[in-house]
Amino acid sequence: MSAVSVHGVGTSHFGRQPDQDLVGLAAAAVSEAFADAGTDRVDAVWVGTVFGPAGCGPRVLRALGITGIPVITVETACASGTVAFAEAHEAVQSGRYGRVLALGIEQMSTAFDGAITPEPTDPEGRSGLAMPALYAMAAARYLHLGMVTLDQLAAVSVKNHAHALHNPRAQYAGKYTVEEVLASRMIADPLTLLQCCPTSDGAAAAVLAPSTGSGREIRVRGVAFRSGEAWNHRSGHVWGHDLVRDTAADAYAAAGLDDPGDIDVVEVHDAFTIGEIVTTEALGIAAPGEGGKAAATGVTALGGAQPVNPSGGLLSRGHPLGATGLAQVAEIVWQLRGQAGGRQVEDARLGLVETMGGGVSVLDGNACVVTVLERP
């Protein structure tokens, strides 16, 4: 087993881009990742996408001149990009391939008019339970138990939109107040419009290869991937918490990390404000019932003790499902290299990415990947 590093990353811009097809989005991400890695050749490609048409991976790559090598497409809802990353890492670590590309792509603005339509083959989908409603249930539960306040929920949105002011690739950015967030249009009580991620198009890519010791490489210190167990309500936690907690434990063990407090910068799956709060608690970054307070008091803001989502997160950078996880990886790589500009976390050495795949399917989440990355 060889140590594996990220040698290069790249992304497109994120936002509603109906004039950009998958090829154009992928070209922006892959060309930047190849230039960053100093290569134009890989031995295999893992492609993460959720709503891409059948066979889109090889077709997109053909247009980029990447042919004649294995192309594996994976779909695990919102975690598709980081599952592609995890599988690419395993392929290099095991020696199966020498250099691998992980690519995430999604074009959603032409596929949906508004929110994603619930999946009718799932019992929850058949009943009309869309993702905003599912997360709203978690928020309502936290409010009922006194584990968060409305102002603390809104504080996550205020923080992440402010972070995105320093991210030129982000879909949305802005200086909002808690009052403005709470006054925005109600989507699924208690979650308002500014507490929900937007519909986005985009692509992100990473080149993985054995570590050589170069100062630009970012080592993959540990990565873990799990799918959810039956959601039987035996847990006292809200949906998704236990899957994130267990996946994080696997990743920490793989990384030899004893204290999550040692992590300097974090990118988590904040599709909705309550998602960041639950996830920071499940990761052990915040104590139970303290995730909202951490956002409201600046602990997880830039300049705080443990910044979360300096990119703006899904709420502000955008959430093109298949590309999201690799966009998170790219952000952490830039942070650990000191290339994040106005959103740079000072002297960041350890970074973490968490991506949670939604879609209920009578499971405690579709999939989750947690990755720990380290500066040499």
Q: What confidence tier does 231 reach under pLDDT thresholds 50, 70, 90?
A: confident
Q: Is the pLDDT of residue 302 over 80?
A: yes
Q: Is the pLDDT of residue 178 over 90?
A: yes
Q: Tell me, what's the pLDDT at 340?
A: 97
Q: What confidence tier does 362 reach under pLDDT thresholds 50, 70, 90?
A: confident
Q: Tell me, what's the pLDDT at 125?
A: 78
Q: Tell me, what's the pLDDT at 230?
A: 87
State mean pLDDT over 150-166: 98
Q: Is the pLDDT of residue 114 over 70?
A: no
Please answer whether residues 4 and 219 qualify as being in contact, where contact means their C-beta atoms are separated by less than 8 angstroms.
yes
Q: Tell me, what's the pLDDT at 215?
A: 86
Q: What confidence tier does 360 reach under pLDDT thresholds 50, 70, 90?
A: low
Chain segment 248-266, per-residue pLDDT in tens: 999 999 999 999 999 999 9
DSSP 146: T
Over pLDDT 90: what percentage of the chain? 84
Please state which CATH number belongs to domain 4-112+196-370: 3.40.47.10
What's the residue count for the chain? 376
Q: Which of 56, 78, 196, 197 is catalytic?
A: 78
Q: Tell me, what's the pLDDT at 110?
A: 83
DSSP 298-325: TTTSTTSSS-B-TT-HHHHT---HHHHH
Task: Tell me, yes or no, if 78 is annotated catalytic.
Answer: yes
State mean pLDDT over 159-176: 97
Q: Is the pLDDT of residue 335 over 90?
A: yes
Task: Please tell me whether residue 234 adopts helix, strand or coil conformation.
Answer: coil
Q: Tell me, what's the pLDDT at 317?
A: 97
What is the domain partition of the chain in residue ranges?
Answer: 4-112+196-370
State the pTM of this model. Answer: 0.96
Q: Which of 89, 161, 163, 319 is catalytic?
A: 319
State mean pLDDT over 204-228: 96
Q: What confidence tier does 116 reach under pLDDT thresholds 50, 70, 90?
A: confident
Strand partners, 204: 11, 104
Structure tokens at 235: 């847990």
Q: Tell me, what's the pLDDT at 128?
A: 78
Task: Tell me, yes or no, if 197 is annotated catalytic.
Answer: no
Query: Hey, what long-range contacts does 28-31 have (CB within 8 A, 24 or more apart)?
Result: 28/203, 29/103, 29/104, 29/105, 29/202, 29/203, 29/204, 29/205, 29/323, 29/326, 30/64, 30/66, 30/101, 30/103, 30/203, 30/205, 31/64
Q: What confidence tier does 293 reach under pLDDT thresholds 50, 70, 90?
A: very high
CA distance 289 to 68: 51
Q: CA 213 → CA 4, 8, 271, distances in Å?
A: 10, 14, 36
Please answer whether residues 112 and 199 qualify as being in contact, where contact means their C-beta atoms are separated by less than 8 angstroms.
yes
CA distance 230 to 41: 41
Task: Please tell me whether residue 144 adopts helix, strand or coil conformation.
Answer: helix
Q: Tell me, what's the pLDDT at 2?
A: 83
Poorest-pLDDT segment among 14-23, 30-39, 264-273 = 14-23
Taking the CA atoms of residue 25, residue 30, residue 32 and residue 36 in that order, the dihedral angle to the nearest 10 degrees is 160
Taking the CA atoms of residue 246, residue 252, residue 257 and residue 260 in that order, the dihedral angle to the nearest 10 degrees is -50
State mean pLDDT over 165-178: 96
Please answer whether residues 224 and 367 qualify as being in contact, where contact means their C-beta atoms are separated by less than 8 angstroms.
no
Q: Tell me, what's the pLDDT at 136?
A: 96
Chain segment 310-332, per-residue pLDDT in tens: 999 999 999 999 999 999 999 99
Average pLDDT, the chain: 95
CB burial of 185-206 (b: ≥16 within 10 Å; e: otherwise) equals eebbebbbebbbbbbbbbbbbb
Q: Which residue has better confidence, 102 or 54?
A: 102
